[in-house]
């Protein structure tokens, strides 16, 4: 007698793009992620600038919200949630 695992415990479910059926863990960087990386670099250079730090956080929150609401699979949505939470709490 074999029991099926709940769908949420399936690795395929976590990483599969429902529209294409392909496994998606990471995608090539998009514009929002590029802005986040530039923000991190700028915050290292101008670490005392509140404006740069604010823009960096806003860019990460924007990227996180985009992943949370438009992520192609549960992994991407969870990643968006965790990055957003980390950004808010840090």
Q: Where are the domains of the chain?
A: 48-90
**CA-only gyration radius of the chain, Å:** 17
> Residue 88: pLDDT above 60?
yes
Q: How far apart are CA 51 and CA 79, in angstroms?
A: 26
- Contact by Cβ (8 Å): 68, 88: no
57-69 pLDDT, tens digit each: 999 999 999 999 9
Number of helices (H), then strands (E), in the chain:
4, 0
Dump pLDDT digits (tens) for 31-44. Answer: 999 999 999 999 99
């Amino acid at each position: 007698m074999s029991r099926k695992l709940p769908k949420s415990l399936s690795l395929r479910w976590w990483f599969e793009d429902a529209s294409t059926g392909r496994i998606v863990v990471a995608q090539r960087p998009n514009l929002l992620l590029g802005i986040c990386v530039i923000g991190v670099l700028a915050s290292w250079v101008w670490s005392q600038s509140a404006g740069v730090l604010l823009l960096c956080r806003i860019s990460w929150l924007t990227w996180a919200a985009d992943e949370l609401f438009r992520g192609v699979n549960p992994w991407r949505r969870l990643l968006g949630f965790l990055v957003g939470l980390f950004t808010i709490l840090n």
